[in-house]
């Protein structure tokens, strides 16, 4: 039961509530990696809003200064389009106070010593520093020199061993989890370590390869698995169906067979589409057909689940007490192929089950289905939530103080 052991261990991490904040210099690693259009308008500020409770906690508990560290995108050199200046106004509006901007670590240090008590400083994109992704000791020490207490509240990057998420903790006396990081791990514990049964995993997306470890690892934890999206094509092919032009990972057909066989021995029920929506072309589709899964027309590809599958999956959802969902179940970005994913979202919203949603695409699909407020918990980390479900201990948790 690898998942349960690693999650229980991560739950032992000290939180910001376990240390004295008053008169201390605080450095918080936040995740402000938010989507923006070409005019730098933020289309979704969820990650920023999720960081507010930790920042407010530091302000309310009389911290001397608060420095916020984040990355934005994957900049090559110091590309101005990835500057965190673009999010400063939104941050000030959300916090309801002025936030000072520091172009570099030295100016952050100067601001720290000149601003009135409780001042909030946003440091320029940490990925502008070459050493960040290399977890350089020099950068880690520089960041550590800015604070008495290091707080990690960036769940979305907690699976990365970078200077600002990992290395810095080695040079700070007190290093703790922020309120979001704590909320994330407690929600995963509720779904995996101590769940209400039966537990259902819904898994989708385009590739089996990205979810292979998850599927092998989670069979000891769940009672039922729904496999949808393009990855279900590989499983249907493993059952001997001719999936025509559908996206299939030929190299993983044997793995799919192993998962189906292992699930049977562990008494885990796996549900695959019984009918599919298929088309002759994804972008310029002239023809769309609904057929049994084993009867995809020649030259067509499966792009969504059919109405019979929707009804079957809804019954599986309604008979579950804990639901974990990672990955959309069709090409939901195209309206004709979004029905399966949206119907699953509506089905989950109609239950009293504890629902844990992981992955950016899944959260986006739930938003588009209008069901965000009807889910128990939507994780802010795609890759991080996937690694948690795979039973891994996330690097960011490894270096924080334990109770």
Q: What pairs with residue 27 in β-bridges?
A: 67, 150
Q: Give the pLDDT band of residue 10 (cuts 50, 70, 90).
A: very high
Mean pLDDT of the region 266-292:
94
What pLDDT does residue 84 have? Answer: 98
Q: Maximum distance among all alpha carbons in the chain?
A: 71
Q: What is the 3-state secondary structure (H, E, C) of the chain?
A: CHHHHHHHHHHCECEHHHCCCCCCEEEEECCCCCCECCCCCECCCHHHHHHHHHHHHHHHCCCCEEEEECCCCCCCCCCHHHCCHHHHHHHHHHHCCCCEEECCHHHHHHHHHHCCCCEEEEECCHHHCCCCCCCCHHHHHHHHCCCCEEEECCHHHCCCCCCCCCHHHHHCCEEEECHHHHHHHHHHHHHHCCCCCCEEEEECCCCCHHHHHHHHHHCCCCCEEEECCCHHHHHHHHCCCCCCCCCCCHHHHHHHHHHHHHHHHCCCEEECCCEEEEECCCCCCCCEEEEEHHHCCCCCEEEEECHHHHHHHHHHHHCCCEEEEECCCCCCCCHHHCHHHHHHHHHHHCCCCEEEEECHHHHHHHHHCCCHHHCCEECCCHHHHHHHHCCCCCHHHHCCCEC
Degrees (nearest 5) of the Cα angle 367, 125, 16? Answer: 70
What pLDDT does residue 383 have? Answer: 87
Could you tell me what percent of the chain has a pLDDT over 90?
Answer: 88
Across the chain, what does the average pLDDT equal? 94
Q: Give the pLDDT band of residue 359 (cuts 50, 70, 90).
A: confident
Q: Is pLDDT at 71 greater than 70 in this prediction?
A: yes
Residue 118 annotated to the active site: no
Q: Find the catalytic residue in 25, 134, 190, 207.
A: 207
Q: Find the catalytic residue in 134, 360, 372, 392.
A: 360
d(CA 75, CA 44): 20
Q: What pairs with residue 358 in β-bridges?
A: 326
Q: Give the pLDDT band of residue 317 (cuts 50, 70, 90).
A: very high
Q: Find the catalytic residue in 73, 118, 170, 383.
A: 383
Reported as a single tens digit per residue, the pLDDT across 104-159 is 999 999 999 999 999 999 999 999 999 999 999 999 999 999 999 999 999 999 99
What pLDDT does residue 54 have? Answer: 98
d(CA 215, CA 194): 19
Q: Which of 35-39, 60-64, 96-100, 260-264 comes out lowest in average pLDDT?
A: 35-39
Reported as a single tens digit per residue, the pLDDT across 193-216 is 889 999 999 999 888 888 988 999
Distance of CA 319 to the CA centre of its chain: 26
d(CA 65, CA 60): 12
Q: Find the catalytic residue in 29, 47, 109, 182.
A: 47
What pLDDT does residue 312 have? Answer: 97
Question: What is the edge-to-edge ordering of all strands in the sheet holding 377-378?
Answer: 269-271, 224-227, 199-203, 322-326, 354-358, 377-378
Could you tell me what percent of the chain has a pLDDT over 70?
Answer: 99
d(CA 29, CA 371): 29
Mean pLDDT of the region 351-373:
92
Structure tokens belonging to residue 276: 């599919």
What pLDDT does residue 391 have? Answer: 86
Q: Give the pLDDT band of residue 318 (cuts 50, 70, 90).
A: very high
C-alpha gyration radius of the chain: 23
Mean pLDDT of the region 261-271:
97
Q: Give the pLDDT band of residue 236 (cuts 50, 70, 90).
A: very high
Reported as a single tens digit per residue, the pLDDT across 85-119 is 999 999 999 999 999 999 999 999 999 999 999 99
Q: Is pLDDT at 1 greater than 60 in this prediction?
A: no
Residue 207 annotated to the active site: yes
What pLDDT does residue 3 have? Answer: 60
Answer for the pair 204, 327: CB distance below 8 angstroms, yes or no: yes
Give this prediction's pTM.
0.91
- CA-based nearest residue to 215, from 248, 256, 252, 250: 256
Residue 370 annotated to the active site: no
């Amino acid at each position: 039961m690898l998942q349960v052991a690693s999650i229980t261990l991560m739950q032992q991490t000290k939180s910001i509530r376990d240390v004295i904040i008053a008169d201390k210099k605080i450095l918080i690693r936040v995740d402000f990696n938010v989507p923006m259009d070409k005019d730098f308008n933020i289309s979704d500020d969820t990650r920023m809003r999720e960081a507010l409770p930790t920042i407010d906690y530091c302000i309310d508990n009389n911290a001397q200064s608060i420095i916020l560290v984040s990355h934005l995108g994957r900049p090559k050199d110091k590309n101005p389009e990835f500057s965190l200046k673009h999010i400063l106004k939104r941050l000030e509006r959300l916090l309801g106070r002025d936030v000072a901007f520091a172009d570099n670590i030295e100016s952050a240090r100067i601001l720290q010593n000149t601003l009135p008590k409780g001042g909030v400083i946003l440091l320029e994109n940490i990925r502008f520093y070459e050493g960040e992704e290399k977890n350089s000791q020099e950068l880690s020490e520089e960041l550590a020199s800015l604070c008495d207490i290091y707080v990690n509240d960036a769940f979305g990057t907690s699976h990365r061993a970078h200077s600002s998420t990992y290395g810095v903790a080695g040079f700070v006396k007190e290093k703790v989890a922020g309120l979001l990081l704590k909320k994330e791990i407690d929600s995963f514990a509720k779904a995996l370590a101590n769940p209400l049964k039966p537990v259902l995993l819904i898994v989708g997306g385009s590739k089996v390869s990205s979810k292979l470890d998850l599927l092998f690892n989670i069979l000891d934890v769940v009672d039922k698995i729904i496999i949808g999206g393009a990855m279900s094509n590989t499983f249907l092919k493993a059952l001997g169906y001719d999936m025509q032009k559908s996206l299939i990972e030929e190299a993983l057909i044997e793995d799919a067979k192993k998962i189906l066989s292992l699930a049977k021995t562990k008494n885990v029920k796996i549900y695959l589409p019984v009918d599919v929506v298929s088309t002759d072309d994804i972008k310029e589709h002239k023809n769309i057909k609904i057929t049994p899964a084993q009867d995809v027309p020649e030259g067509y590809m499966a792009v969504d689940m059919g109405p019979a599958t929707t009804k079957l999956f809804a019954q599986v959802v309604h008979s579950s007490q804990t639901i974990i969902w990672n990955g959309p179940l069709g090409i939901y970005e195209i309206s004709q192929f979004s029905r399966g994913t949206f119907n699953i979202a509506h089905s989950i919203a109609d239950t009293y089950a504890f629902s844990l949603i992981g992955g950016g695409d899944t959260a986006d699909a739930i938003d588009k289905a209008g069901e965000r407020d009807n889910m128990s918990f939507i994780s802010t980390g795609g890759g991080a939530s996937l690694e948690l479900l795979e039973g891994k201990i996330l690097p960011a948790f490894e270096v924080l103080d334990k109770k």
